[in-house]
Amino acid sequence: YQPQINLISGQVVGVEALLRWRQEDGNFVPPDRFIPLAEASGMIVSLGDWVLRVSCLELVRLQALGLPELRMSVNVSQIQFRQPDYLTKLMAALKDTGINPKCLELEITESVAMEDPDFMLETLHKVRALGISIAIDDFGTGYSSLSHLRQLPIDRLKIDRAFVTELGQDVSGGHIASMVIELGQNLKLTVIAEGVEEEFQAQTLMRLGCHEAQGYLYAKPLTSEQLTEWLEKRGAL
């Protein structure tokens, strides 16, 4: 779980669930390698359902510790999303874990959001009707149709790490991060930056009007125990 911070208040507003695969020898297989395999084999469906449930239970635990408003962001793969029974499973997970749907957020990547507009529009509306919020992950890397984006029932744009890294450089044509923030403001969406590693990046993002940030500057992805410790040290609990 990696914390997400409100840039103005400094408060921890959420955490993103990031799946880890530890092998018997203690080494980790990176998600960039096993997620595509899980997608190709179809295992992502049961794996994703497990991630959702474990994350909901972790949210229940964290909220009970004294963070009742905390949000949990869960990455959803395109294959999962396209299962005819995806919404049924989503509702079952909400019911079984008893979480407040308002505190759950699904992250779909920009490329997924832009594919098959009619299907996406309909499905996202149904997810939103459950009270769950939607973030567009890796924003800026895909080919968004602005007219489609404007129609989508979404809550948050997540600026891709590459554009946060770029903030220190003098790039011709201006910073993508700044354009995404402005776009978010016009569309009345919250904007979160991922991969924030340096204080000056956080400062620049805040100055540009970005609302939230996530990255090594605050914390790396943590186990449940590490997260509790980190929250305690920060005085958030």
Of 215, 227, 230, 231, the one binding ligand C2E (CB under 6 A) is: 215
Q: Does 19 bind ligand C2E (CB under 6 A)?
A: yes
Contact between 45 and 80 under an 8 Å Cβ cutoff? The reply is yes
Comparing CB distances to ligand C2E, the nearer of 22 and 188 is 22
Amino acid making up residue 136 = I
How many residues sit close enough to ligand C2E to count as binding (CB under 6 A)?
Answer: 24
Q: 20-29 — which CB contacts under 8 Å span 24+ positions?
A: 20/221
Three-state secondary-structure class, residue 68: coil
Closest distance between Mg ion and the C-beta of residue 24, in Å? 27
Sign of CA dihedral 195, 199, 201, 205: positive
Q: Does 32 bind ligand C2E (CB under 6 A)?
A: yes
Closest distance between ligand C2E and the C-beta of residue 52, in Å? 8
Closest distance between ligand C2E and the C-beta of residue 172, in Å? 25
d(CA 114, CA 125) in angstroms, rounded, equals 15
Comparing CB distances to ligand C2E, the nearer of 101 and 195 is 195
Q: Does 138 bind ligand C2E (CB under 6 A)?
A: yes
Q: Taking CB within 5 to 8 Å according to partner kind, which of ligand C2E, Mg ion, none is near residue 154?
A: none
Q: Which two tokens stand for residue 180?
A: 């995404």
Site for ligand C2E in 183-202 (CB under 6 A): 194-197
Of 18, 57, 114, 222, the one binding ligand C2E (CB under 6 A) is: 18
Contact between 91 and 130 under an 8 Å Cβ cutoff? The reply is yes
Q: Does 216 bind ligand C2E (CB under 6 A)?
A: yes
Q: 87-90 — which CB contacts under 8 Å span 24+ positions?
A: 87/123, 87/126, 87/127, 87/130, 89/49, 89/52, 90/52, 90/127, 90/130, 90/132
Q: What angle do CA 200, 202, 206 make, to 5 degrees?
A: 115
Contact between 199 and 217 under an 8 Å Cβ cutoff? The reply is yes
Site for ligand C2E in 72-131 (CB under 6 A): 75-77, 107
Q: Taking CB within 5 to 8 Å according to partner kind, which of ligand C2E, Mg ion, none is near residue 30?
A: ligand C2E
Q: Taking CB within 5 to 8 Å according to partner kind, which of ligand C2E, Mg ion, none is near residue 105?
A: none
Residues binding ligand C2E (CB under 6 A) = 2, 17-19, 30-32, 35, 48, 51, 75-77, 107, 137-138, 161, 194-197, 215-216, 221
